[in-house]
């Protein structure tokens, strides 16, 4: 029998504990002999990344058991923390010391030395060669030296770091190394401060001479973002380039003119923000190229190399999709399904058929999870794209005439992207009678270069205007109770949360996870990868200092009036706790209702199961306290003043 209960107070089987342990992301995947291996975060084990494998018998088991944790600290965001050889040797970066190890049949041995403050990431195993991006903080922790290196696999460098060969350096950042099949050339991506890789990066190609690349050429450079080089043969290179306004595939042959030709262009993006070193948007599978195309949602295509004929592959993934690995005629693809589950599939490129390797495990997916409703509203800078998720519960309806509370979610980055999937966090809220609107404000990827460049020099303006426009749209069409619209976001999304709260009163509550309150403090305190990010988002210092002050939410501390929940990790090197604590102190000085929760041992993004559970329940309890509804199964939250 259907119950009638106020929005927000609906009972739900989707507990925070169930959501935290639901299908987690795939952290890399590979074909290893006849097996399939993948990385998988385990929240119940302090968020460590395990490596698992499925054999030909269909059974799965850990390759990397506790307490080992395959996680890189390069650029703080890591990526590419493990790879494997066909003989079953696992190569991985251990989180605690950032050394590279080899594991065979449970026996683990170091490959790099313990000396110095050195991190590794972006591991690549190719034709018997182990490559990595090395980040050396020994001489200068704020500005580390980076290089692409070759690590001997016999363990000789574990005691003698000079055995590690530096193949190339010569720029502030390097990523995505690729050896030509004959081993004579290296291709890689490079960029320098003050640019970020989605603003300006180039592909470089150099001949390897006595183990090193001494000179190189750049088939693609300039005011464009060039990503992910891959060799088709010893002289022909594929890469991703956004010169057309969309990230598309390009092909280049060493020494030939014209230097580049487009490869199966489309009005969609094959590419994205290079936040992590393991990012991959396409792969070469024999005679075909398997690629992701994004225009709001993701879809996967198989492209015939000879004819350019493109066939769509029917894979459930529509967001966060990654081409993990390819072999002749096969591809491993990970991503999120419409109901939020994270899966891994093997695809046959000949006919486009797919089968699940690791299925999502969301028992509530069929009836408890809302399908995304694409939304577009007009903002001052043009259309604003979003996905709406209305309250969804098969057992409860709201009283006649009541309109639901809504939470507007703001992704981080700010150069990131959300697809049309109801995450576990979203389903947790919608099943309780709280609507969710996930916004891709101007600056987001997935809609072409012009859309993401709306934020150039306008961070704190365009993003704030866009989320306010989205909230007004919700209220105007009657989807949400205008007196119960909250805004929530983390990191750069937290900055937008705080900026929107001081810019007006459309949002009656805010939730900031490790959000930025003071742009000048962020520029001074943050890590090297993002040390000059604000040059493009606001302007270079000291010339633009007045803009930094003008844009920072803390400048307008007297305008905070809506209740605010602040969640922060104690070990956050990207947005240190001092940022959240400054906001807390400003709220306390004005008597604004608030709560501040500091999670010991957590960094930039929460990984431990107990943290995730507590944070989700705290957010729900906060909304109940502010908007006046009961929160069954969750302890009420007491707000400070």
Per-residue pLDDT, 115:
84
Evaluated on CA atoms 474, 478, 480, 483, the torsion sign reads positive
379 has pLDDT over 90: yes
Per-residue pLDDT, 358:
80
Residue that wins the pLDDT comparison between 57 and 465: 465
Residue 53's beta-bridge partner residues? Answer: 37, 61
Instruction: Estimate the share of the chain in helix, then strand, then coil, as percent rounded to the nearest 5.
Output: 20, 35, 45
Report the SS3 class of residue 23: coil
94-136 residue pLDDT tens? 999 999 999 998 899 999 999 889 999 999 999 999 999 999 9
Mean pLDDT of 503-522: 94
Per-residue pLDDT, 105:
86
Parallel, antiparallel or unpaired: strands 382-389 and 330-336 = unpaired
**C-alpha span between 492 and 456 (Å, rounded):** 14
603-621 residue pLDDT tens? 888 888 899 999 999 999 9
Tokens found for residue 248: 């598309």
Parallel, antiparallel or unpaired: strands 594-599 and 564-569 = parallel
Per-residue pLDDT, 23:
59
What is the enclosing helix (H) or strand (E) of 231? strand 226-231
Question: For the residues of 159-228, what is the DSSP string, one character each?
Answer: T-GGGSEEEE--SSEEEEEEE-TTSSEEEEEEE-TT--TTTSBEEEEEEEETTEE---EEEE-SSSBEEE
627 has pLDDT over 80: yes
Residue that wins the pLDDT comparison between 222 and 178: 178
Per-residue pLDDT, 339:
78
Per-residue pLDDT, 544:
96
Per-residue pLDDT, 374:
95
What is the enclosing helix (H) or strand (E) of 285? strand 282-285
CA 391, 394, 396 angle in degrees (round to 5)?
70
151 has pLDDT over 90: yes
Closest CA relative to residue 547, chosen from 467, 459, 415, 443: 459
Confidence of residue 166 (pLDDT cuts 50, 70, 90): very high
Note whether 487 and 507 are within 8 A (CB): yes
Per-residue pLDDT, 361:
61
Per-residue pLDDT, 509:
98
**C-alpha span between 219 and 253 (Å, rounded):** 9
Note whether 339 and 362 are within 8 A (CB): yes
Mean pLDDT of 354-382: 84
Residues 6+ apart with CB under 8 A from 365: 337, 339, 340, 341
pTM of the model: 0.92
Tokens found for residue 497: 């949360």
58-93 residue pLDDT tens? 788 899 989 999 999 999 899 999 999 999 999 999
Comparing 245-249, 429-433, 515-519, 602-606, which segment has the lowest mean pLDDT? 602-606
Note whether 407 and 503 are within 8 A (CB): no
Confidence of residue 147 (pLDDT cuts 50, 70, 90): very high
Residue that wins the pLDDT comparison between 478 and 607: 478
CA 308, 313, 318 angle in degrees (round to 5)?
120
Confidence of residue 47 (pLDDT cuts 50, 70, 90): confident
269-308 residue pLDDT tens? 999 999 999 899 999 999 999 999 999 999 999 999 989 8
Per-residue pLDDT, 258:
63
Parallel, antiparallel or unpaired: strands 48-54 and 35-42 = antiparallel
Q: What percent of the chain has pLDDT over 70?
A: 98
393 has pLDDT over 90: yes
360 has pLDDT over 70: no
Q: What φ, ψ does residue 579 adopt, rounded to 5°?
A: -65, -50
Residue that wins the pLDDT comparison between 142 and 461: 461
Note whether 129 and 211 are within 8 A (CB): no
**C-alpha span between 117 and 134 (Å, rounded):** 11
Tokens found for residue 549: 């002050």
Per-residue pLDDT, 11:
95
Note whether 12 and 368 are within 8 A (CB): yes
Confidence of residue 555 (pLDDT cuts 50, 70, 90): very high
**C-alpha span between 452 and 442 (Å, rounded):** 6
Per-residue pLDDT, 540:
95
Note whether 436 and 409 are within 8 A (CB): yes
Confidence of residue 524 (pLDDT cuts 50, 70, 90): confident
Comparing 399-403, 568-572, 607-611, which segment has the lowest mean pLDDT? 607-611
Per-residue pLDDT, 363:
67
**C-alpha span between 579 and 492 (Å, rounded):** 12
Task: Calculate the average pLDDT of the chain.
Answer: 93
Burial class (CB in 10 A: 0-12, 13-18, 19+), 136: middle
Cα radius of gyration (the chain): 24
257 has pLDDT over 80: no
CA 86, 88, 94 angle in degrees (round to 5)?
115
Closest CA relative to residue 199, chosen from 226, 225, 171: 225
Confidence of residue 527 (pLDDT cuts 50, 70, 90): confident
Residue that wins the pLDDT comparison between 364 and 329: 329
Q: Three-class SS string for 44-108?
A: HHCCEEEEEEECCCCCEEEEECCCCCECCCCCCCCCCCEEECCCCCEEEEECCCCCEEEEECCEE
Per-residue pLDDT, 419:
94
């Amino acid at each position: 029998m259907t119950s009638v209960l106020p929005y927000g107070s609906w009972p739900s089987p989707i507990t925070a504990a169930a959501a935290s342990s639901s299908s987690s992301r795939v952290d890399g995947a590979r074909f290893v002999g006849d097996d399939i291996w993948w990385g998988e975060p385990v929240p119940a084990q302090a968020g460590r990344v395990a490596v698992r494998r499925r054999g030909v018998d269909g059974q799965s088991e850990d390759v990397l058991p506790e307490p080992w944790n395959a996680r890189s600290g390069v650029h703080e965001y890591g990526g590419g923390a493990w790879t494997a050889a066909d003989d079953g040797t696992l190569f991985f970066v251990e989180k605690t010391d950032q050394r590279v190890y080899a594991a065979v049949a449970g026996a683990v041995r170091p490959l790099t030395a313990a000396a110095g403050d050195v991190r590794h990431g972006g591991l690549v195993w190719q034709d018997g060669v182990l490559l990595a991006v090395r980040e050396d903080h020994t001489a200068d922790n704020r500005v580390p030296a980076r290089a692409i290196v070759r690590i001997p696999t016999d363990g000789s460098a574990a005691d003698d770091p000079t055995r590690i060969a530096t193949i190339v350096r010569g720029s502030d950042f390097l990523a995505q190394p690729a050896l030509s099949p004959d081993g004579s050339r290296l291709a890689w991506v490079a960029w320098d401060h003050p640019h970020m890789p989605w603003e300006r990066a180039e592909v470089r190609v150099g001949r390897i001479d006595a183990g090193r690349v001494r000179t190189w050429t750049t088939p693609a450079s300039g005011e464009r973002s060039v990503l992910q080089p891959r060799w088709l043969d010893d002289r022909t290179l594929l890469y991703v380039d956004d010169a057309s306004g969309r990230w598309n595939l390009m092909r280049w042959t060493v020494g030939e003119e014209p230097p580049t030709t487009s490869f199966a262009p489309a009005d969609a993006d094959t590419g994205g923000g290079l936040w992590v070193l393991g990012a991959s948007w396409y792969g070469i599978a024999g005679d075909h190229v398997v690629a992701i195309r994004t225009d709001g949602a993701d879809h996967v295509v198989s492209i015939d190399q000879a004819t350019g004929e493109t066939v769509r592959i029917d894979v459930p993934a529509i967001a966060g999709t990654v081409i993990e690995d390819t072999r002749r005629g096969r591809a491993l693809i990970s991503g999120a399904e419409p109901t939020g589950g994270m899966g891994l599939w093997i695809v046959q490129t000949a006919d486009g058929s797919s089968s699940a390797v690791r299925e999502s495990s969301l028992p509530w997916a069929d009836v408890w999870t809302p399908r995304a409703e694409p939304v577009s509203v007009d903002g001052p800078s043009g259309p604003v794209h979003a996905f709406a998720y209305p309250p969804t519960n098969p057992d409860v309806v709201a009283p006649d005439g009541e309109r639901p509370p809504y939470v507007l979610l703001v992704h981080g980055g700010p150069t990131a992207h959300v697809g049309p999937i109801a995450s576990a966090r979203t389903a947790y809220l919608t099943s309780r009678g709280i609507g969710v609107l996930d916004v891709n404000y101007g600056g987001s990827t997935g809609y072409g270069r012009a859309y993401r460049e709306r934020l150039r020099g306008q961070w704190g303006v365009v993003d704030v205007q866009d989320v306010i426009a989205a909230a007004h749209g919700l209220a105007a069409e009657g989807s949400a109770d205008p007196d119960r619209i909250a805004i929530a976001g983390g990191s750069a999304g937290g900055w937008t949360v705080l900026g929107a709260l001081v810019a007006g009163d459309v949002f009656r509550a805010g939730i900031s996870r490790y959000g930025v309150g003071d742009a000048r403090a962020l520029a001074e305190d943050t890590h090297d990868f993002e040390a000059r990010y604000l040059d493009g988002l606001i302007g270079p210092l000291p010339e633009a200092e007045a803009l930094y002050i003008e844009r920072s939410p803390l400048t307008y501390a007297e305008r905070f009036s809506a209740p605010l929940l602040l969640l922060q990790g104690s070990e956050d090197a990207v947005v240190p706790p001092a940022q959240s604590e400054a906001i807390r102190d400003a709220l306390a000085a004005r008597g604004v209702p608030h709560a501040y929760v500091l999670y010991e041992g957590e960094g930039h993004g929460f990984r431990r199961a107990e943290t995730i559970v507590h944070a989700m329940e705290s957010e729900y309890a906060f909304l109940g306290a502010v908007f006046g509804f009961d929160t069954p199964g969750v302890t009420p939250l007491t707000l400070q003043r």
